[in-house]
Amino acid sequence: MKIAHVLSLIMLLLLVLLAGIGFQRFRGDAEVGKRLAENNCGVCHDMTAKRKNGKGPYLWEIYKRPAGVVDFSFSASFRQLVEEHPFLWDDDHLDRWLANPLAFIPKTKMSQQTKDHPVAFEGMDSSANRKDLITYLKSLQ
Ligand code: HEC
């Protein structure tokens, strides 16, 4: 084999490898998302089929679920937004919500500390992390 052939074969293999990695990033990584969810959401949200509310509503079947429909005492600001503009939790809404809940719904309970729950969630900056997290949320069904 000529050296040029070997080189183009190596280039081709590299391209296939890079395309594979690119595709993985595009889809989001549910394994990474699971860890992010356990660390950032699990303290307030049940993510199992048990459908138990905690400080926040349960997240089982959250993907494409209409916002604010589960039996949970949502904050007044959350209820008002959903009454005026009902929506489904699709990729776009989840991404905006998880990037900055207070910008999405001012005064939402998700970002408020209380005596019983000194932890609050103020948003996840990395769009790559949000994509992985949303990929995981889609699997909760
Ligand atoms: C400090 C507790 C807390 C943390 C941490 C938290 N949440 Fe929440 N979440 C809430 C509360 C409380 C609400 C209800 C908001 C309201 O009523 O204003 C909520 C609402 C939601 C909703 C809307 C559910 C529905 O039925 O419409 C989604 C989706 C959600 N959270 C996802 C997440 C994800 C994903 C994470 C992790 C990145 C997370 N939350 C972290 C407390 C929390």
Nearest to 29 by CA among 133, 110, 99: 133
Is 81 touching ligand 1 by the criterion CB < 6 Å? Answer: no
Q: What is the pLDDT of residues 120-133, one digit of tens each?
A: 999 999 999 999 99
- Tokens 């959250």 locate to 62
Q: Identify the pLDDT of residue 27.
A: 78
CA dihedral over 130, 131, 132, 135, signed as positive or negative: positive
Q: Identify the pLDDT of residue 20.
A: 76
Q: What is the pLDDT of residues 58-86, one digit of tens each?
A: 999 999 999 999 999 999 999 999 999 99
Residue 134 burial (CB < 10 Å; 0-12/13-18/19+)?
buried
Q: Identify the pLDDT of residue 41.
A: 97
Going from the Cα of 101 to the center of ligand 1, the distance in angstroms, rounded, reads 9
Is 101 touching ligand 1 by the criterion CB < 6 Å? Answer: no
Q: Identify the pLDDT of residue 62.
A: 98
How many percent of the chain have pLDDT more than 90?
Answer: 74
Is 117 touching ligand 1 by the criterion CB < 6 Å? Answer: yes
Q: What is the pLDDT of residues 16-32, one digit of tens each?
A: 888 877 766 677 899 99
Q: In angstroms, rounded to a whole number, what is the distance separating the alpha carbons of residues 129 and 133?
A: 6
Q: In angstroms, rounded to a whole number, what is the distance separating the alpha carbons of residues 77 and 105?
A: 7
